[in-house]
Amino acid sequence: MQAEIITIGDEILIGQILDTNSTYIAGELNRIGISVYQITSVQDEKEHIMKTLAEAGNRADVVIITGGLGPTKDDITKHTFCEFFEDTLVRDERVLAHIEELFARYIDTPISELNRQQAMVPSRATVLMNRYGTAPGMWMEKGKKIFIALPGVPYEMKALLQEEVLPGLQAAYHRPYILHKTVITYGMGESAIANLLEDWENSLPSFIKLAYLPNLGKVRLRLTARGENKKVLQAAVDEKIKDLYPLIGDVIYGMENDAALETLIGKVLTEKKMTLAVAESCTGGRIAEQITSVPGTSAYFRGGVVSYATEVKTDVLQVPGELIDKYSVVSAEVAEAMAAGARKLLKADFAVSVTGNAGPAKGDSDADIGTVYIGVAAPGTVYAQKFNFGNHREKVVNKAANKALEILWKEILKN
């Protein structure tokens, strides 16, 4: 089973918006055993869309299109879709009633003829009712190929995919089972892990594939298995994951989706009834953002201070000015003082701090670009570690945030 995803819209091609729809659709198709062969983005131009639809139909069993279903003149997907199938548009009374109800209940502006035109659909289409918007989805077939058009608004698309498209595809096709399991590692590079896993990787059965997914301080190891028997695949993948621990168990932090490091930190702190604070400089709040991405953070996270300016370090975190004069703002001594200051200020059991030089200029320190100190204050101890994360600003910030969480996690486990 192969699928192709086509996103339509000039706003994607000029970089005005991110194409998050394709990522979501691809993940959901994989979950039900349909592999995505290709993802394509095209402009709002009829001939381009027609050509892409034809090519996709030659490659894939299922073609899913998003975008261009709005009421304005630049939204041409529906008319092009209709022409591709040599069909005509007809008014769907059920869709029209839904549009009129939406305007009556939720929209202050009067309904226009443009809005009512949203109820026009190809005569041979199976209409997919969009309960959150005015543009319906459309399901059409050509030969043995399925073509599905969905609105580009993400929450509308997701609802239609879950309520209409996925159940329909599951009913229409017999699909193999596709299993993905991803192991999360921190603190070791991709090539170093690959060297340790060479024999293990060579021993994988033919139906299991391994992918390395490095991301600034952490590496995800994704195992993908395909076959007809779900239980056999799960047992085989679980056994291979078990064999990883004697090889790299010291850098494995768990499985993706159920054990991100920030989730593990929150779980243990909640169990211990302990609290956390952060003090950030070069990471600019990135650590706090990751921590608060986990539901239930208020049970253990006290708060954070983004002490970007030197005077915020001295005035808010109470870092002694003479310490900064002697060692500079990018130093182990200042990282330790920041962590201790945040722990005291926010009345937390643990605090983690980051101060460094992410570039492109050196700022208030002569430290080399990429130099970062991470400090930890915990019951009975305060310390800092030095790192160099390279010369790319975004890389430095993300690696520093990931490393700070890693160090914090190890410290929490000691307590």
CATH number of the domain where residue 299 is located = 3.90.950.20
**What's phi and psi for 99, nearest 5 deg?**
-60, -45
Q: What is the pLDDT of residue 143?
A: 86
Same domain membership, residue 185 and residue 198: yes
pLDDT at 258 over 60: no
Q: What is the pLDDT of residue 75?
A: 79
Structure confidence by residue, pLDDT tens digits, 121-152: 999 999 999 999 899 999 999 988 999 999 99
Same domain membership, residue 392 and residue 279: yes
Same domain membership, residue 103 and residue 6: yes
> pLDDT-derived band of residue 256, with 50, 70 and 90 as boundaries?
confident
Q: What is the pLDDT of residue 69?
A: 86
Q: What percent of the chain has pLDDT over 90?
A: 73
Same domain membership, residue 377 and residue 265: yes
Same domain membership, residue 401 and residue 350: yes
DSSP string, 283-320: TTTHHHHHHHTSTTGGGTEEEEEE--SHHHHHHTS---
Same domain membership, residue 409 and residue 315: yes
* Cβ-count burial 184-221 (b if 16+ within 10 Å, e if not): bbbbbeeeebeeebeeeeeebeeebeeeeeeebbbbbb
Same domain membership, residue 343 and residue 239: no
Q: How much is the pTM? A: 0.63
Q: For residue 353, give its domain range.
A: 261-414
- Considering its fold, how many domains does the chain have in total? 3
Per-residue pLDDT, averaged over 234-259, amounts to 88
Per-residue pLDDT, averaged over 350-358, amounts to 96
Same domain membership, residue 184 and residue 332: no
State both tokens at 78. 């529906």
- Among 191, 223, 255, identify where a domain stops: 255
CATH number of the domain where residue 77 is located = 3.40.980.10
Same domain membership, residue 100 and residue 134: yes
Structure confidence by residue, pLDDT tens digits, 165-217: 999 999 888 878 888 899 999 889 899 999 999 999 999 999 999 999 998 77
* DSSP category for residue 111: P
Same domain membership, residue 124 and residue 32: yes
Within 8 A by CB and 6+ apart from 3, the residues are 29, 34, 35, 36, 37, 60, 61, 62, 63, 64
Structure confidence by residue, pLDDT tens digits, 363-395: 666 788 899 999 999 999 999 999 998 888 888
Q: What is the mean pLDDT of the chain?
A: 92
> pLDDT-derived band of residue 259, with 50, 70 and 90 as boundaries?
low
Structure confidence by residue, pLDDT tens digits, 3-33: 999 999 888 888 888 899 999 999 999 888 8
Same domain membership, residue 250 and residue 161: no
DSSP string, 336-383: HHHHHHHHHHTT-SEEEEEEE--SSS-TT--SPTTEEEEEEEETTEEE
Same domain membership, residue 152 and residue 14: yes
Structure confidence by residue, pLDDT tens digits, 150-167: 999 999 999 999 999 999
pLDDT at 287 over 70: yes
- Among 172, 190, 206, identify where a domain stops: 172
Looking at per-residue pLDDT, the higher value among 149 and 106 belongs to 149
Q: What is the pLDDT of residue 364?
A: 64
Structure confidence by residue, pLDDT tens digits, 29-73: 988 889 999 999 999 899 999 999 999 999 999 999 999 888 877
- Among 211, 232, 255, identify where a domain stops: 255
